């Protein structure tokens, strides 16, 4: 018997035992209320199931017995015969026989050689005995259920010759059954592991509750651990250690109850692949490895759709048509491999096809075509970076839209779904040889290991899954190793620049003195710098924290609805001392700190920043846009939080202010034209057709600045490009609102005074004034520097 078969049989045994137990109860209940048709129907269904399954599994004896019983029950159900106590006895005997057979099958795998012809005959007789004669006799029987043998004996008498053998068994039913029943009864206590007793069905809600309780226990354990750390009492310490171990085991055990094999969702893929391959005229063999890899039920649900999408993609886009495969020297039948395994506390899932692979050039061309990349940027990208472009929203390389895929919604959704559950997705491929998509997801979400760090008076937990490494800079290094790149602190991590985010800054709390001076003059003054290197998306950044505590198992608790809108927190947890600590959402934090920009601008911005970073700090990355009078203007990209597009109708005028609803807040918007006095004369304006009149309904492009958690938008005519250039030899400003003019990308470009925008949006705000002064100083410094 194969393993699969064994599984099926085991399931059959368990299920049948449950059914038989129910039949036992129902048969007895039927005796008490013989007129209840629903009981008969229930017994019939149960025995019918047993019969059907054992027929399928090839247990002929079992099938014969249950078939005979089913006949009786079917007649009963159809009211062709009426229930009698004798009938109940025989049916109960049948249940015992079936039970015995099940035990036999369980212990030996075979039905054995028992002879059940007598029982079958009895059952058959009952079935055939559904004659008026039997019926009329049976009528009084239920009323006097006890004196059964005497009533039973004469009953079949008029029916037929086989009376003696039938009459005998009734009072002596147990002995008759002994051939089968005896071994059964002996086997049961000996083996004591019938499948029916080793597995039970449990409500998922109960498991969830248990999981919560274990979470509480873990918290209490953490508290106890912390308390005993302070005492020297050996007995307390050893008791705590025991508690510690037991809690960990219990946690593991309860977590296991929620685990399901990934095969549960994979088992629909053979059909999916077959149907899809057929409709594309392809031949695909689906191979699955590691179906028994287990992960939390909620995660199983969460990866179902993304995985289905990937499988469909692989068949539709990955694997080629048979003739093309043969032409490429591959077997006509494509191979799709699904693989799952545990590694380092995570579940790895791989979807591999041996199809055409990803075409980096096609991806690049597509990205350029869609304006996600400039030709120049594309030329500098590595193949792997190009592959990752397919995870951008709206990206599809499918040459034609099929009903399966190629609509441009897909991989970004897959990625979002995977990342939502704390997973990562990566893609490898060789042109012509196939693609492998690797997914890593955590085993569970409820209790996670996390690093606890501190900033200000608060502690924060960082999920270990996004943690790459810890760096501690001491003494001289702490002063020199953090460098400033036009206001952006960076650290050279093994020769590559790692952008740094100060946790205090990112959370809008005042940074320690000396940090974040945009002129790059003052490095941080602390004697120690702790950098937590994190991965968000496919990007790394360093989070500078005040101190690093321990790693701990934390229980993730959701935040109340008042705090749902804060994207940098993933939840909260209770620490060993009973205080609440917030769990950082690394992705949200990265987005907030502009380590990763949002939406389609991501590739443009990030790449531009990366290029600028590599080229050294003489160069600056500037955002170029058209000024109202058809000139060019620029602002340092580092000042820009985001680039957005709003329908013009979304801009609302309230009093003297122009406002737009943005991410659940009201963002003041400043129009560039209102900020910078018009320079050109009317005739020239008329002669310049280049600037299209702003459409009243069309979208407007908005540069979003952020400061202290507030956003301010600047409406510009048109965003032109992002370039890096040195701001050499600035010319003094020609009009208010402008810091000066420089040559950028071969054209004279005015540098917009960002602070003027911010001042305009929030008149009198102290921070705007202050930073304006700083910016003016900074430009003066630069001017002086370049002049020298």
Binding site for other proteins (CB under 8 A): 216, 219, 457-458, 507-509, 557, 559-566, 568-569, 572, 574, 578-582, 709
CB 596 within 8 A of CB 501: no
Nearest to 19 by CA among 126, 102, 79, 104: 102
Of 41 and 710, the one with the shorter C-beta distance to other proteins is: 710
How is residue 362 written in tokens?
Answer: 């096609």
CB of 505 to other proteins, least distance (A): 10
CB of 555 to other proteins, least distance (A): 9
Distance of alpha carbon 384 from alpha carbon 412, whole angstroms:
16
Of 579 and 735, the one with the shorter C-beta distance to other proteins is: 579
CB of 708 to other proteins, least distance (A): 10
CB of 227 to other proteins, least distance (A): 16
Of 414 and 581, the one with the shorter C-beta distance to other proteins is: 581
CB of 560 to other proteins, least distance (A): 4
CB of 33 to other proteins, least distance (A): 45
How is residue 575 written in tokens?
Answer: 């620490």
N-to-C CA span, the chain? 88
CB of 532 to other proteins, least distance (A): 17
Distance of alpha carbon 197 from alpha carbon 308, whole angstroms:
36
> Residue 787 to residues 174, 486, 780: CA-CA distances in angstroms?
112, 19, 10
CB of 730 to other proteins, least distance (A): 36
Distance of alpha carbon 585 from alpha carbon 536, whole angstroms:
9
CB 642 within 8 A of CB 431: no
CB 763 within 8 A of CB 752: no
Of 281 and 457, the one with the shorter C-beta distance to other proteins is: 457
CB of 557 to other proteins, least distance (A): 5
Distance of alpha carbon 418 from alpha carbon 455, whole angstroms:
29
**Contacts (Cβ under 8 Å, ≥6 apart) of 552:** 222, 449, 450, 452, 461, 575, 576
Of 251 and 405, the one with the shorter C-beta distance to other proteins is: 251
Of 90 and 214, the one with the shorter C-beta distance to other proteins is: 214
Of 337 and 566, the one with the shorter C-beta distance to other proteins is: 566
Of 380 and 579, the one with the shorter C-beta distance to other proteins is: 579
How is residue 399 written in tokens?
Answer: 């040459």
CB 47 within 8 A of CB 66: yes
Of 439 and 532, the one with the shorter C-beta distance to other proteins is: 532
| DSSP assignments along 546-566, one per residue | SEEEEEEEEE-BPPPGGGTT-
> Residue 782 to residues 482, 755, 776: CA-CA distances in angstroms?
21, 17, 10
Of 564 and 648, the one with the shorter C-beta distance to other proteins is: 564
CB of 507 to other proteins, least distance (A): 4
Secondary structure element (H or E) that encloses residue 749, with its range: strand 747-752
């Amino acid at each position: 018997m194969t393993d699969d078969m064994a599984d099926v049989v085991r399931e059959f045994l368990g299920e049948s035992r449950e059914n038989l137990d129910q039949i036992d109860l129902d048969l007895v209940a039927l005796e008490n209320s013989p007129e209840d048709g629903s009981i008969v129907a229930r017994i019939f269904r149960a025995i019918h199931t047993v019969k059907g399954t054992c027929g399928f599994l090839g247990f002929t004896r079992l099938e014969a017995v249950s078939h005979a019983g089913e006949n009786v029950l079917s007649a009963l159900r159809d009211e062709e015969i009426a229930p009698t106590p004798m009938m109940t006895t025989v049916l109960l005997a049948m249940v015992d026989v079936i039970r015995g057979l099940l035990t036999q099958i369980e212990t030996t795998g075979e039905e054995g050689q028992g002879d059940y012809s007598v029982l079958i005959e009895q059952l058959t007789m009952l079935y055939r005995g559904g004659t008026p004669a039997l019926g009329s006799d049976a009528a009084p029987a239920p009323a006097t259920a006890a004196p059964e043998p005497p009533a039973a004996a004469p009953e079949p008498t008029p029916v037929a010759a086989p009376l003696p053998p039938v009459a005998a068994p009734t009072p002596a039913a147990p002995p008759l059954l002994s051939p089968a029943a005896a071994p059964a009864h002996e086997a049961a206590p000996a083996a004591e592991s019938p499948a029916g007793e080793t597995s039970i069905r449990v409500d998922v809600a109960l498991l969830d509750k248990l999981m919560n309780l274990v979470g509480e226990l873990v918290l209490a354990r953490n508290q106890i651990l912390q308390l005993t750390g302070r005492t020297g009492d050996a007995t307390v310490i050893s008791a705590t250690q025991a508690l510690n171990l037991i809690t960990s085991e219990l946690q593991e055990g309860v977590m296991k109850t929620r685990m399901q094999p990934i095969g549960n969702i994979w088992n629909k893929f053979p059909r999916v692949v077959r149907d899809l391959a057929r409709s594309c005229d392809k031949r695909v063999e689906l191979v699955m490895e590691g179906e028994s890899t287990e992960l939390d039920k909620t995660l199983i649900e969460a990866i179902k759709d993304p995985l289905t999408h990937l499988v469909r993609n692989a068949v539709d886009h990955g694997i080629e048509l048979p003739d093309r495969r043969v032409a490429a020297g591959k077997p006509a039948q494509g191979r799709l491999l699904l693989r799952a395994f545990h590694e380092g506390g995570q579940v790895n899932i791989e979807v591999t096809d041996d199809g055409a692979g990803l075409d980096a050039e096609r991806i690049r061309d597509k990205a350029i075509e869609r304006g996600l990349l400039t030709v120049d940027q594309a030329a500098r990208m590595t193949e792997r970076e190009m592959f990752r472009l397919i995870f951008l929203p709206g990206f599809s390389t499918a040459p034609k839209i099929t009903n399966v895929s190629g609509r441009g919604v897909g991989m970004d959704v897959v990625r979002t779904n995977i990342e939502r559950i704390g997973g990562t997705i990566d893609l490898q491929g060789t042109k012509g040889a196939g693609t492998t998509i690797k997914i890593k997801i955590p085993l569970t979400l409820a209790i996670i290991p996390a690093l606890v760090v501190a900033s200000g008076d608060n502690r924060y937990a960082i999920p270990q899954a996004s943690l790459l490494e810890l760096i501690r800079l001491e003494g001289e290094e702490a002063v020199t190793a953090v460098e400033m790149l036009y206001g952006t602190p960076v650290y050279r991590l093994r020769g590559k620049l790692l952008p740094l985010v100060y946790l205090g800054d990112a959370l809008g709390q005042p940074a320690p003195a000396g940090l974040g001076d945009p002129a790059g003059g003052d490095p941080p003054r602390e004697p120690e710098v702790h950098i937590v290197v994190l991965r968000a998306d496919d990007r790394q950044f360093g989070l500078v924290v005040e101190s690093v505590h321990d790693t701990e198992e934390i229980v993730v608790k959701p935040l109340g609805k008042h705090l749902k809108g804060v994207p940098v927190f993933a939840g909260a947890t209770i620490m060993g001392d009973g205080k609440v600590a917030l769990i950082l959402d690394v992705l949200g934090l990265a987005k907030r700190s502009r380590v990763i920009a949002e939406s389609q601008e991501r590739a443009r911005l990030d790449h531009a920043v990366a290029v600028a970073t590599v080229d050294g700090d003489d160069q600056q990355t500037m955002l170029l846009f058209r000024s109202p009078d058809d000139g060019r203007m620029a602002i340092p990209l580092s000042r820009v939080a985001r680039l957005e597009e709003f329908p013009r109708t979304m801009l609302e005028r309230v009093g003297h202010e122009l406002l737009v609803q943005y991410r659940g807040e009201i963002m003041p918007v400043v129009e560039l034209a209102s900020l910078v006095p018009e320079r050109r004369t009317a005739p020239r304006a008329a002669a310049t057709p280049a600037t299209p009149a702003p459409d009243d309904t069309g979208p407007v492009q908005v540069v979003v600045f952020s400061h202290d958690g507030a956003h301010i938008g600047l409406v510009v005519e048109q965003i032109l490009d992002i370039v890096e250039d040195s701001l050499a030899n600035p010319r003094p400003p020609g009009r208010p609102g402008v810091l000066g003019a420089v040559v950028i990308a071969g054209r004279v470009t005015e540098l917009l005074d960002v602070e003027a925008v911010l001042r305009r949006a929030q008149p009198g705000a102290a921070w705007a004034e202050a930073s304006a002064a700083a910016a003016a100083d900074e430009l003066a410094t630069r001017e002086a520097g370049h002049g020298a």
